[in-house]
Structure 1
Amino acid sequence: MANHLSEVDIIFVGESSVACAAAGRLAAANPGLEILLVEQGPNNLNEPTVFTPGLMLTHLAPDSKSALFWQGNKSDAVNGRGPVVASGGILGGGSSINFAMYTRPAASDFDDWKTPGWAAKDLIPLLRKIETYHLGPGLEVHGYNGPIHVSYSNYYFHVAQEYLDVITRRGVPLVEDLWDLKTGHGCQRLPKYIHPTTGRRQDAAHCYIHPQANNTSLHILTKTQVVRVLFDGIKAIGVQRSGIGCAERLSKLGVPVVSDLPDVGSHYEDHSSLIPLFHIGDDVETLDCVIEQDPGFMGKYVPEFAEGRGYLTSNANDAGGKLRPSPEELKEMGPAFQAVFKQKFEQAPDKPVLIQTLFNGFFGPRSMVPDGKRFMMIANIQAYPTSRGHVYITSTDPYAAPDFDTGFLNEQSDVDVLIWAYKQCRFPPGSAAGCVRLDGPPPTEIEDLVYTDEDNAAVEEFIREGAGTTWHSIGTIPMRPKEQGGCVDSRLNVYGTTNLKVADLSIVPGNVGANTNSTALVIGEKAAILIAEDLGLNVP
């Protein structure tokens, strides 16, 4: 960025997937538009831990320079734990550090927002615009000329095929396209945000921003934290605590109120999840070798990655499914979830209750597992939890920790879903539902397990002790009418201000049955169109 820069047309604060997509589109279509991107973390340009999918777990290390870790309040609902939730702290936001999993919401998710211009019919063209889809030509809901490439990568773990063999024998259909916006129950080999030729991660900064290195009107300022939006009355004129939110809460802290929006920070949502661990054969390739920095392993695969092939081109998430309970299973899930199912899922067959993915490796603390052993994890991700939390200001000090309640498992219906997802784990000795270690391939004959009341109690205890985040924070500045607790309108304008928009996952007024990166990119594409319209410009 030029040292003399003192005035720009647009400032994007926090360079997430949304901001990179919006700024990139605006800059490419209008080269004379002066745009400044401000990111508190480092630049991700050609950073190996970013562009190498197999190194993604380095971002969750306690000393990570690319992630921010938010300490949640302790809660009885999770046995007195204070969950920690990570978010992107680098240019490109979560797209630079996530698991590069390609997922998309159900069409009904967008329609449920009930916001003009944000229905499925409005956003599906933007989903197509985002991507170059390499998994089959001519599919109506996919795009083939976008900045972000979608592929299987060129490495496939045999354990993933065993997972698909087992889950299909359990009656879950193998489908061609799990992310066609209408399938709510099925399984498949999982696509990824990975380039099929180079094997590189497809993050928003490398796909939307860095290709415009020669655009002298697009400026990037990293390692800089914005602490305040400057106002002339109610008009935002720059960035430097800003006085937008619950007037009572702000006034108690001595913050002058610009716009009284009581619901700012409320309605926090995440996808609560349970991710149990399983032993697998010591000869199976997993990310455990990367985490342990096995020199023999790295010496073999780093040169292969340089040629766009091999293990490091994979995110180790090769198979998964979207699951809905059978009528018999629903009867066993209890009245709390049965009521939720009737209201949320019964008339929406495109909505999964659970997203399940197989992960080759263990991404928890290595002190918890034996050295040199190999593991896999099955992520059970609740697609539409009913529990809510909040993120509230606690001080005028911009570096002070917020009052952060994750809300995990506050509602019994959420516990019921995770019990259904992983009821077969952690049982008393001698239980007919107990787990045993097996060598060799999985059995071909699969029988339903038998559970006692003692088993059920043990499962719930295990869930409350182990459930946590999927790093999909949304909803604290919802896009809905102000009288319904909204904070921004359908054009992303913050109520009670001018020149100020919010364009990130905090605006999402209702959860989506998918990992959130595709939704973030769609918000970015939509934001570019809305901003261009406000300025009398055009984004093709």
Structure 2
Amino acid sequence: MAETHLANLDEVVGKIFDYIIVGGGTAGLCLAARLTEAPETSVLVLEAGGANLNDPDLLRPASYGIHFGNAKYDWNFKTDPQLHCDGNQFIWPRGKGLGGSSAINFLNWTMPPSDEIDDWERLGNPGWNWVNHRRYIKRAEKFVYPPDDERTRNEMRRDDWSSGMEGPLLTSFPSKIPLSEFEVRRTFINLGIPVAPKPLDGDPTGVFFAPETLDPRNATRTYSTTAYYLPNASRPNLHVLVQSTVSKLVLSTDSDNGDLVAANGVEFVHKGIHCAINVGKEVLLCAGSLKSPQILELSGIGSRIVLEKLDISCIVDLPGVGENVQEHVFAGTSFELKDDDVVETLDVLRNPELAAQHMDLHASGEGAYNIGIVGFVFAPLNLLSASASSIHEAALSVYRTKRPEVTEAGGVAEGIKQQWKIQLERLEKGSPGCEFISIPGFFSRPNLPKDGKKYLSISVAMNHMFSRGTIHSISKDPTIDPAFDPHYFEEGIDMQTFVEAMKFLKNKVAKTSPFKDSIGIFSTSIFELIWVLFGGSFIAREVNPGPEVVSDEQIGDWLKNHLSTTFHTAGSCSMLPRDKGGVVDPQLKVYGTSNIRVVDLSVVPLHIATHTQSTVYGIAEQAADIIKGVI
């Protein structure tokens, strides 16, 4: 591995770099590595967080969620109070430091349905299709195939996989897949959910095990830092400056390109020192869906209405900035296992003494820290609920005529209406907008786990939300977060779909073998014993939401209070035609500018049914070729 060399301020101030990358996260480090493959090309990466290099708390897998709320690793963003969630606010964890969210995520490596990527091209973006997207993800990935005996033991089909073999990012299956994962898998199959035909190659509808961003040689996390930065850190043309918060881009009229605006450089604050650096070619925003729109607005690019309120001169009136925000959400459910169940779970790690023992076991491939989250089910609502057809018919009636709400910022409604049209087509053809994630351990709220008990959790996730949110600056101060307003459940179909998926889990999965056979049948709660006496069912010992949460209204109320983000916010700098609310064109260049691009999940114009880590790498790899002029 190359010698690690982080830049200091003296090395960069006063110099001109060909490219300045704002954000050293998943996309930013990938882009930096690809651009500096040309020795004559100089790149500066500005990362607001720290380096966090060789940190065992990041590298150790199965440390799910321990980084959330820790200011060293997590920006700990929070949404505005949500009108349709009884005024609740929700925490939005995001990675802080080199590697961004790829450093603190749950290591999931899944792929979207092929036609959902093709939908990007349908929305006006030539070249952004499944064939290209899959090719660029493969460029990032180096999949380590499991041995034949492991494939047989874990019921894996090699022909399910079409994975990259030459990229820098190692992906593999964890050394431990608990028995509970197979029981969940078989239960869904017994309920009529098929085995996914091509989960990593364009058709994930059904049940499958997915690999992780994991190095099987030492059972450590792989992420953009280990894959793209560290192997290239000694390149003399690559400079990475951490603890550097970008304030704004310095703009002027580009005399060579008519009325276009050019970025001359970037203003930032490094450890309390205000600095400015000039750029020779382009500024590349890779700050993520939550911060890239803020940086554009603070620079004078965005809705005139938003900027005037902040007393910021509007240099490029671009109403789509911070609009069309789409998010994935999930709600965790947990079930208590029987006391005599021998399945290994993550629950042992709640005990500090036992966690220390398992930490010692980790390096040898043993212990709970080698347990991964690999069990997934992606399904359309019509495989889960008899009410699907009526819900979808109602949606067809509503969204064929309804005009989207135009926000105060002046977002372009026509683009959202085109997206809704495609979403209605997805409903009709059975796209897998509902998701179930199997987790061998306790992962839910609000009821807490009991000491010494084991749990199995299934997170129910929604991937095709009709609601559209906003992200807009509320201050000229770059250290003050913008207002994050996802508009959860503003569109009724989102809640209806979520409730039906939850009912499928509670009423079908929890009462079907082999899942139900592992769950504790009896309860010690007085309330629950009374529940049984009055006819309640205890086939499953359900901790969250709990057996008292039964009706549609009760489930809906529980969701409004206890849903969580799936950390996949998209759309805030959408790649769409400018008159449809677009912020960037198919070359990812910001409209009205000659040398500013956005390269992160914010450019996704219509959300997709997958965990988005692989997609971010694919976007960055494709962007690198666009910038180099290869495509």
Query: Given the two structures, how large is their TM-score scaled by the length of structure 1?
Result: 0.88
> Of residues 4, 14, 25 in structure 1, which corresponds to 2:34?
25
2:106 maps to a residue whose letter is: F
The residue aligned with 1:354 is 434
The residue aligned with 1:269 is 326
Helix, strand or coil: the match of 1:362?
A: coil
Stretch deviating more after TM superposition (336-345 or 32-41): 336-345
The aligned runs of 1:24-423 (5 Å cut-off) are 24-27=33-36, 29-60=37-68, 62-114=69-121, 115-135=125-145, 141-175=162-196, 177-184=198-205, 186-233=206-253, 234-240=261-267, 241-281=298-338, 284-290=343-349, 292-299=350-357, 301-315=358-372, 317-324=373-380, 325-326=382-383, 328-331=386-389, 333=391, 335-337=393-395, 343-346=424-427, 348-349=429-430, 351-363=431-443, 368-423=448-503
- 1:488–1:507: 8 Å Cα contact kept in structure 2? yes
- 1:272–1:408: 8 Å Cα contact kept in structure 2? no
- CA distance 1:431–1:524, shift in 2 (3 Å): farther
Percent of aligned pairs sharing the same letter:
26
Q: How far apart in 1 are the matches of 2:597 and 2:343?
A: 49
The residue aligned with 2:512 is none
The residue aligned with 2:24 is 15
Consecutive unaligned residues in structure 1, runs of 5 or more: 440-450
The residue aligned with 2:601 is 505
1:167 maps to a residue whose letter is: F
Instruction: State the superposition RMSD in angstroms.
Output: 2.9
Q: How far apart in 1 are the matches of 2:610 and 2:588?
A: 22
The residue aligned with 2:149 is none
- 1:54–1:312: 8 Å Cα contact kept in structure 2? yes
Helix, strand or coil: the match of 1:30?
A: coil
The residue aligned with 1:447 is none
Helix, strand or coil: the match of 1:328?
A: coil
Give the aligned length.
517
In the TM superposition, residue 8 of structure 1 has moved relative to its aligned partner by 1.3
- CA distance 1:304–1:385, shift in 2 (3 Å): same
Query: Given the two structures, how large is their TM-score scaled by the length of structure 2?
Result: 0.76
Q: How far apart in 1 are the matches of 2:371 and 2:109?
A: 12
> Of residues 484, 488, 513 in structure 1, which corresponds to 2:584?
488
In the TM superposition, residue 222 of structure 1 has moved relative to its aligned partner by 1.0
Q: How far apart in 2 are the matches of 1:170 and 1:365?
A: 26
Q: How far apart in 1 are the matches of 2:135 and 2:605?
A: 20
Q: How far apart in 2 are the matches of 1:281 and 1:530?
A: 55
Q: How far apart in 2 are the matches of 1:483 and 1:384?
A: 24
In the TM superposition, residue 251 of structure 1 has moved relative to its aligned partner by 1.7
1:148 maps to a residue whose letter is: L
- CA distance 1:199–1:453, shift in 2 (3 Å): closer
CA deviation map 1:303-326 (0-9, x unaligned): 3322355432333x1312111223
- CA distance 1:230–1:368, shift in 2 (3 Å): same
CA deviation map 1:42-75 (0-9, x unaligned): 1132111211112232111x23411112221112
CA deviation map 1:394-444 (0-9, x unaligned): 1111122322212111111111111111116499946999552658xxxxx
- CA distance 1:332–1:366, shift in 2 (3 Å): closer
